[in-house]
Structures are given as structure tokens and as C-alpha cells.
Amino acid sequence: MSTILEIGVERWPIAGTFTISRGSKTEAAVVICRLVTETATGRGECVPYARYGESIDSVCEQIESIRERLVQGLDRDDLAKLLPAGAARNAVDCALWDLEAKSARTSVAELLGLGELRDLTTAVTVSFGDAETMAAATAKFAHRPLIKVKVGGDDDADRISAVAAAAPASRIIIDANEGWNDDNIVANLLACAKAGVALVEQPLPAGQDAILRRIPHPVPICADESVHAADDLHQLAGLYDYVNIKLDKTGGLTEALRMQQEARRLGFGIMVGCMVGTSLAMAPAMLVAQDADYVDLDGPLILKKDREPGLTFSGSLVSPPSPVLWG
């Protein structure tokens, strides 16, 4: 059966501005891969990330480079040999899963033997800013059970104290996005411990995190930029306590599931996270997140408007995707 490949670019405005330590953005630019046969269409969405050397053009070119193989019926095992882990492979891998499920008139969850998927509690995100602004933003989420807060600048101890005080009943994840250094990490971790923070994500730049092996972890530390796929995990032992699995890093659902299994085997805790994208990007991650300690799939909530149909959010609860959306 022949397959038609369609590549699309979509831009989704963000509600306001989304800011981390590396900068701000006002829209989510995503690439959509559609695989069309006579009987079904499979879709996958990815978010090219400049931090990893990706752009809309480079991701589209990567997908285009395997057009002939996709038309001939490329499978997921071959895909992993043709494209590196990253956004382009994610879009294609998730489209292949979606196409297989729809062609077989079943679900990806059934194909994987996962059974019925359950609702999950996701974090909601507070952007980087000054302590007073961040405290006000956090207070609006004080009724939410899990809040992820972006830091990564001078005076982070003040930010940490302020946001924790603004939502005393919530679990707080502090995400520094590589914004700390050897000179301030001990003090910032102690500030997190004093504030009752649950988890600290990627405090130091990837590749510059050797100090984590030598200093105390008064709060568990999670790798994000330092880990992309399963083969990265062994070198993180002794540095990190948790790993953040994102499909745009792993190159799709296939590798994300492999990474999850290996992370558990090695004793890491697991967060399942996302870039800022629509529900189509979050849907496959919902399957990995069924066995996660922390879920951070609030990308659609950061947008001014999500695609329809999208995932259903009820407060902090997010429901599994409908087959119309994905899988």
C-alpha cells in the first residue's frame, strides 16, 4: 500500500509571553507530518528547538529527505536508522504509530498492551520574571497541586522563596533551564530545600554538571537538556536523580518508551515533559506519562488557543487523547 507524505508548518500564538532563562517567545512554531494511505491518515507534531540546533527549515528538510522511503512503507525500526533523535524523527514516528492504529481500527495503547489509559495530573508553568511578578503569577495557581516555575538568573533564592510562599499547598518544581553555575548551585539548592521544593530541573548547563556528583542533593535533581535518549542514561548515574523524557528529544514515542524502561531499570525517577505545542504533540506523551512520577504536559494551556479537537483539561487533570486527535 503506497503512502503519501504531507509536511506542514503551523504557528500557534501564545497567551501573552512565555519566558525562560534563555529568552522569550510569543508563538509556538510546529511541524506536522501526515502519512496518508487509501484507508487512513496518521499525524505527528514536533516542535523544532533552537537549543538543539533545530529550525523549522532543518526539520522539514530532514523529513523531506526520507520521503521516498516513507512512500515505500518505512517502518519505525528503519526510521531510527535514518534520522537522529530529535524533532523530525518525533513527528514521523508518532505519525507512523497513529497510522498503524487507525489502519488496524484499534488504538496505540492497545497495540502496546497498555490497556485503558487514565487521567493524569499535569504541572502548570510560571514563566521567568522578577520575584514579585512570579509570586503573583504563582498565586493564581495556588489551588493547583503541581506548579513548575522557571528560574535561572541572579537572585533566584528570592524567586524560589516568593513562589513557594505564594502557593504553600502546591508541590513546586524549579526549572533553571541550565541557568545556574558552580558558584551559586549549592546556595540555590539549599534555598529550594528551605522552601520545600519537590524537584529541581536542569540547574547547570549540559556537559558542565560534574559538580552534581560531589555536592549534596537536598532536593532531587532532574536532567533535561543533559539527557535525550536511552543511551545517554548511563553517564548520568550519580549526577541526577530523575530524567525528563520529551518526545522531541527522544525522536518519538518508540525511543521514549525504551528510555522509560531503561531509566526505571537504572533507578531514575521519571518526569514526562514537553515543548510548547498543541495537543497533537502531547497526545503520544500521555502514553509514556502513564508511568511517570511527574507529568508536565501543559503546553496547550500556554497557547492562546489549542487545536480542535484537543486534549481535555479539567483543572490540572488531563484526559487521554481521543482517536480523532491521535492514536
pLDDT tens per residue across span 160-170: 999 999 999 99
What are the domain boundaries of the chain?
4-108, 120-318
Q: Is residue 21 predicted with pLDDT exceeding 90?
A: no
Cell of 140: 493564581
Q: Which amino acid is at 244?
A: N
Q: Encode burial over 113-149: b for 16+ CB neighbours within 10 A, e otherwise.
A: eeeebeebebbbbbbbbebeebbebbeebeebbbbbb
CA distance 240 to 159: 23
Please report the pLDDT score of residue 108 as a whole number.
Answer: 98
Beta strands in the chain (DSSP E): 4-20, 23-36, 41-46, 120-121, 124-126, 146-150, 171-175, 199-201, 221-223, 242-245, 269-272, 294-295, 313-314, 317-318
Mean pLDDT, residues 4-19 taken together: 94
Report angle CA 34, 123, 213 to the nearest 5 degrees.
100
Question: Which one is catalytic: 25, 246, 249, 305?
Answer: 246
Q: Is residue 22 predicted with pLDDT exceeding 80?
A: no
Mean pLDDT, residues 175-190 taken together: 97
Contact, 47 vs 247, CB < 8 A?
A: no
Mean pLDDT of the chain: 96
Cell of 283: 497526545
Q: Is residue 70 predicted with pLDDT exceeding 80?
A: yes
Question: Which one is catalytic: 150, 194, 249, 304?
Answer: 150
Please report the pLDDT score of residue 214 as a whole number.
Answer: 97
| pTM score above 0.85 | yes
Spell out the residues 6+ positions from residue 123 whose beta carbon is closer than 8 angstroms to its own: 146, 147, 148, 173, 294, 295, 296, 298, 316
Cell of 221: 535533581
% of the chain exceeding 70 in pLDDT: 100
- Alpha carbon 107 to chain centroid, angstroms: 22
Active site residue 246: yes
| Class of the domain covering 4-108 | alpha beta
Report angle CA 161, 166, 170 to the nearest 5 degrees.
95
Please report the pLDDT score of residue 1 as a whole number.
Answer: 61
Active site residue 102: no
CA distance 51 to 47: 12
Closest CA to 127 of 221, 233, 3, 24: 24
pLDDT tens per residue across span 92-102: 999 999 999 99
Superfamily of domain 120-318: Enolase-like C-terminal domain (3.20.20.120)
Closest CA to 124 of 18, 255, 236, 9: 18
CA distance 135 to 168: 11
